[in-house]
Amino acid sequence: VQIADAAGAGKYAADTLASAKTDLQNARDLDSHKGDRKQTITYAREAVQSAEDARIITIRKIRAEDEAATKQARVDAEQAAEQARAIAQQQALDRQRAEAAAAEANARAQQARQAQQQAEQSAQAAAQQAQQARERLRDQLNQVLQTTETARGLIVNMSDVLFDFNKYTLKPEAREKLAKVSGILLAYPNLKLQVEGYTDNIGSEDYNQKLSEQLADSVRDY
């Protein structure tokens, strides 16, 4: 059992090793109490066999891991070489393009300035659109639940009245509000959402921690 344990069976063949340890303990118990000698020997033999099985399983799994690691290293090396070739080809192409661009630089200077102006105008327009979309989202959410603008982003508050005391099942009015919120969010597929649950200070810290997670999970799942 010690040999199997030292070989790493606790990681790779935990169930089999546990069975061996159980058989070993049973044999020791019978032996210390002068129990049935045959049964003691049976337990001992089973402990040896299970421990050896665990050791063999461990060796096989470690070998499989090593082979997989070697194979992955070979694949990674091939990919790295391919990427290096691709980068070299891209760099050569970039140099060609840079030389061609330099030859045309004088003729295209005016076009570049115009493009820069257009880019700045487009960026301003995009920023304005993003701000408008954010304000529109805030106004839409505010019609359903209290929504505030913070450094963290838009925060939508759901009052704890939406849950019964010490419960995490959504009330009908909570489901109705969440359905409306979901309908709004469908129009903003790129939003990143974070759901946080809170409780009062009644009860233990562990209990409140679990309850707050359950509240958040209910909102997220619904």
Specify whether the backbone of 162 is left (phi greater than 0), alpha (psi in -120 to 50) or beta: alpha
- Given this model, what pLDDT does residue 68 score? 96
Query: Is 155 exposed, middle or buried, given 0-12, 13-18 or 19+ CB atoms closer than 10 A?
Result: middle
Q: What is the pLDDT of residues 49-98, one digit of tens each?
A: 999 999 999 999 999 999 999 999 999 999 999 999 999 999 999 999 99
Concatenate the DSSP letters of all residues of 200-217 into one string. Answer: -S-S-HHHHHHHHHHHHH
Helix axes 37-103, 14-32, angle to 10 degrees: 160
* Residues 31-53 as b or e (16 or more Cβ within 10 Å = b): eeeeeeeeebeebbebbbebbbb
Q: Rounded to an integer, what distance in angstroms lies between the CA atom of residue 168 and that of residue 174? A: 11
Residue 215, burial from CB neighbour count under 10 angstroms (0-12, 13-18, 19+): buried
Contact between 13 and 57 under an 8 Å Cβ cutoff? The reply is yes
What mean pLDDT is predicted for residues 163-188?
83
The pLDDT value given to residue 160: 58
pLDDT for residue 41: 94
| Residue of higher predicted confidence among 6 and 176 | 6
Residue 101 scores a pLDDT above 70? yes
Q: Which pLDDT score is estimated for 162?
A: 67
Give the pLDDT band of residue 135 (cuts 50, 70, 90).
Answer: confident
For the chain, strand residue ranges (E) read 146-150, 153-157
pLDDT class for 47, splitting at 50, 70, 90? Answer: very high
pTM recorded for the entire structure: 0.42
173, pLDDT greater than 90: no
What pLDDT score was predicted for residue 127?
86
pLDDT at 196 over 90: no
Per-residue pLDDT reduced to its tens digit, 148-171: 888 888 998 876 566 777 777 778
Long-range contact pairs involving 14-19 (C-beta distance under 8 Å, separation at least 24)? 16/50, 16/53, 16/54, 16/57, 17/50, 17/51, 17/54, 19/46, 19/50
Task: Supply the pLDDT for residue 198.
Answer: 78
CA angle 165, 142, 196 (to 5 degrees): 45
The two tokens of residue 167 are 């419960």
- Count of other CB atoms within 10 angstroms of residue 15: 11
More confident residue, 7 or 144: 7
Of 136 and 164, the one with more pLDDT: 136
What pLDDT score does 158 carry?
Answer: 77
pLDDT mean across residues, the chain: 89
